[in-house]
Structure 1
């Protein structure tokens, strides 16, 4: 008589779901359990039909990845982390660029549902009520990367943006700066904009430095907004001695503008960025930054999604550690 998956489960002393996860090489199974199942499969000469198994669990072994801007240096390492874990477990990636536009996000969700993806990774954009409703409607497991929804209904992988901004601003304060401007994101963005502004303000307040609204300049994290806002800063009569930029790309834009107008970094302006992209590392002078663990965010997000697909209970929000990387764009005030 031909052995069945039930026979394997009984022999190994595990449930049917565990055998299924071993057959699909899922990361959630311990090495000890995997060994028991594989030994049972060998002893019983069990030969699963891959096609039948795929039909039974209705799996396409494909994952949809919704990314705001495929050309952005920030997202490349996140996608690399996703891809490496996906390849390891034989999943295909469908990458869709949304340009942070709600209509394109809606179209992307329709496309992914039609392609019957097993799960979706949504990267970076703010999660509003309409998008949450769309997520529920398609009834496909979703994990958020570099963003989270307000009530944490969905699983996510992020950093503590407020604390990271606090540490960046505190670093400048410890160097003796008390006139610190911020190149911020949007003040209605609960994902990264507001938390980073709040972290900046908290660091100033706790160090008894007045928060000056005329030192906060809003942008879209891109080079052009960093450049244009730096034009405003260099025209100020009471110029800051240091600047915290909420993205490395804005920091590079600001530095380029300053140097084109005869100012020096860090002699005239100390400058710290945010993200840890290569552009900041190889710019001259190399820019001090808050480094986000972007590869790890992608890898962790993919691992979390695979567990959701298998019906496992896992923690909702995972907050990863960031790192302050010191380079040449900051110096002690007065040196």
Structure 2
């Protein structure tokens, strides 16, 4: 069966092809009576507009690319929900891409999104030196960076106060009497990893506490690597009194390693994390953490991208959200 064309609709409704096109694109005034006649013809003929062809003609696809490093992380899932909640109201759909913290994969994803002619991109980059972002901006593709910054870019940015949050969390451990504190860092090639490490180091320095090299671990924001690093720490002998996991995924890896070694939290070792872990309500003890408002971060990114789509000349901005310190039962007070 042949598909119904715009020509068939025009003939059925007894109007011109141009009139049907105006109803479809809503770009020129059409009388109410004529519009209803065309819409009824489309319904009777089961006409399905060729959205791809119309997108190419209008240079608008109503698609927004969202690129994140770990789509399984609840934080990024909530960011995506926030974005979708906002842009869906304006009839935009999301194309989701996961990069696995792999910068080469990220560049390939960005190139494919550009080829698909998405209207805009929201990106959480796996590298602080991503020069390709400004190339996309030169191609007139609006970009909003979410959670992670890129050096010397003209893109808009929506992030948490990573430095301040890490400082607050470390300060809390110190005030609870801890001096031998281990940090499990994230990827130091991205702004979140660097800023959280800097916040930790500054708090330790402000309290005149030396950081032992053997207590600086690299978890690269993944639970597997954090698990391996924690097992190595346990096996080497000297143990800290507290561990600071620089994200929720790594905190899960640390918890597993401690459990397998029969180490109790907080009886044997205290544990804190930047961002809440999954199923926090089901786990004992609940972890003391810095809790980001991922949904609000996503909503703000969505609002900015819509603003950029309406006016691409609007000045770029950086929005920084202050996160909350949530005190639970995972830190032992040392007298």
Residue 227 (1) aligns with residue 227 (2): yes
Equivalent residue runs for 1:1-335 within 5 Å? 58-136=59-137, 138-187=139-188, 189-311=189-311, 313-334=314-335
Deviation at 1:103, TM superposition (A): 3.2
Using the alignment, how far apart are the partners of 1:141 and 1:118 within structure 2?
Answer: 7
TM-score normalised to structure 1 length: 0.78
Deviation at 1:169, TM superposition (A): 0.5
Q: Is the 8 A contact 1:249 1:280 kept in 2?
A: no
1:154-211 deviations in whole A, cap 9, x for unaligned?
Answer: 1110012111111111110111111111111234x24122211111111011011112
Using the alignment, how far apart are the partners of 1:61 and 1:117 within structure 2?
Answer: 7
For structure 1, the residue ranges without an aligned partner over 5 or more in a row are: 1-22, 25-40, 42-46
Relative to structure 1, the CA distance from residue 303 to residue 133 in structure 2 (aligned partners, 3 Å threshold; closer, same or farther) is: closer
TM-score normalised to structure 2 length: 0.78
Q: Is the 8 A contact 1:270 1:331 kept in 2?
A: yes
1:24-55 deviations in whole A, cap 9, x for unaligned?
Answer: 9xxxxxxxxxxxxxxxx9xxxxx9x9x9x988
Deviation at 1:287, TM superposition (A): 1.2
Using the alignment, how far apart are the partners of 1:136 and 1:248 within structure 2?
Answer: 32
Higher mean alpha-carbon deviation, 217-226 vs 273-282, is at 273-282
Secondary structure of residue in 2 paired with 1:192:
helix
Give the structure 2 partner of residue 18 of structure 1: none
Q: Which has the larger radius of gyration?
A: 2
Deviation at 1:226, TM superposition (A): 2.1
Q: Is the 8 A contact 2:248 2:277 kept in 1?
A: yes
For structure 2, the residue ranges without an aligned partner over 5 or more in a row are: 1-25, 30-34, 39-50
Secondary structure of residue in 2 paired with 1:278:
coil
Using the alignment, how far apart are the partners of 1:230 and 1:160 within structure 2?
Answer: 26
Relative to structure 1, the CA distance from residue 277 to residue 302 in structure 2 (aligned partners, 3 Å threshold; closer, same or farther) is: farther
**Root mean square deviation, CA, Å:** 2.8
Using the alignment, how far apart are the partners of 2:112 and 2:252 within structure 1?
Answer: 36
Secondary structure of residue in 1 paired with 2:95:
strand
Q: Is the 8 A contact 1:152 1:316 kept in 2?
A: no
Q: Is the 8 A contact 1:275 1:289 kept in 2?
A: yes
